[in-house]
Amino acid sequence: NRIPIGSPVRTQAIINRYFVKAKKNLGQNFLVDQNAILGIVNAADIQEGDQVIEIGPGIGSLTEQLLLHGAKVFAYEVDDSLPKILQNELPAKIGDQPLDQRFHLLLKDVLQADFKKDIGAFFDFSQPIKVVANLPYYITTPIIFALAESDLRFASLTLMMQKEVAERLEAKTGSKAYGPLTIATQTRMHVELALQVDHTSFMPRPKVDSSVVVLTPIEHKPDVGRRAHFNKVVKMCFAQRRKTLNNNLKNLIPDADKRAELIASLGVDPKIRPEDLTIAQFIKIANAIA
């Protein structure tokens, strides 16, 4: 019957007890809304025995609920003042297991992670591994790319991020949010928007509202060819969003006739703007240029 860490009173008590000063440069906004925390746990569909990588446990608001819902948690954190707090404040025992059998903290920048090596001693690779995080927002996109490009195949990624980034991940062709991040993500993963979280759910409150997104790997990924080449072509097609595809392709294909030929082969209006091209059409363009 303990008061959860992710409640305003308990978080405030922890802040007072350890003189915690939320570090803005590390994106520290702690969740103090039990509905939001349980919403994330539900979105990740946490079951007894699940293996979860958490990025940035902070003072443990989300970690605590992951553990109480049966997960084994491996966490990456960079703030070296937090291990002591987590050790003291997370439940000493979960069921009949001591905390250290269920929770392992690695003080390491997640962008330097070597997932297989780091978690090898703690997790069983023959079983699914989920990622769950209230992300540090200053590195949301690099973290998503690092996870997407990892040689570990995650069962799912349940990530809280700025609302605007979530909108870009799940954008549809033709919308304002549709762009390189949408395409890089949707060629690898299904994107599902699970819940919206108001900025008042955090301590301290960030300026922006947040969304929780669930990403699951696509079984049969479209063949985009060489990933670096594909990403570069997509990026260049979007170099100037307001201009036509033809204009944006000038650097990649200087010859006007060749450009016209490629655009004609896509079966689209020559005046089409990049945001109106489907992912399949971007793949066609990248293949033609390769």
Annotated binding-site positions for S-adenosyl-L-methionine:
29, 31, 56, 77, 109, 134
For 110-133, b where at least 16 C-beta lie within 10 A, e where not — what string? Answer: beebebeebbeebbeeeeebbbbb
Type of residue found at 99 = L
Q: Which residue is associated with the tokens 């200087």?
A: 254
206-225: contacts with ligand SAM (CB under 6 A): none
26 binds ligand SAM (CB under 6 A): yes
Is residue 211 within 8 Å of residue 237, measured between CB atoms? Answer: no
30 binds ligand SAM (CB under 6 A): yes
111 binds ligand SAM (CB under 6 A): yes
Give me the least distance between CB of 171 and ligand SAM, in Å please: 23
**Sole window of 21-29, 65-73, 124-132, 282-290 interacting with ligand SAM (rule: CB under 6 A):** 21-29
Give me the least distance between CB of 181 and ligand SAM, in Å please: 19
Contacts of 220 (CB under 8 A, 6+ apart): none
Type of residue found at 112 = Q
78 binds ligand SAM (CB under 6 A): yes
Q: What is the 8-class DSSP label of residue 139? A: G
Give me the least distance between CB of 142 and ligand SAM, in Å please: 9
Tokens of 273: 């703007």
Q: How far apart are CA 210 and CA 62, in angstroms?
A: 15
Give me the least distance between CB of 17 and ligand SAM, in Å please: 16
Which C-beta is closer to ligand SAM: that of 13 or that of 260? 13
83 binds ligand SAM (CB under 6 A): no
Which C-beta is closer to ligand SAM: that of 197 or that of 253? 197
Q: Which run of H or of E encompasses 62?
A: helix 61-68
198 binds ligand SAM (CB under 6 A): no
For 240-269, b where at least 16 C-beta lie within 10 A, e where not — what string? Answer: eeeeebbebbeebbeeeeebeebbeebeee
Residues forming contacts to ligand SAM in the complex (CB under 6 A) are 26-31, 55-58, 61-62, 76-79, 109-111, 134, 136, 139
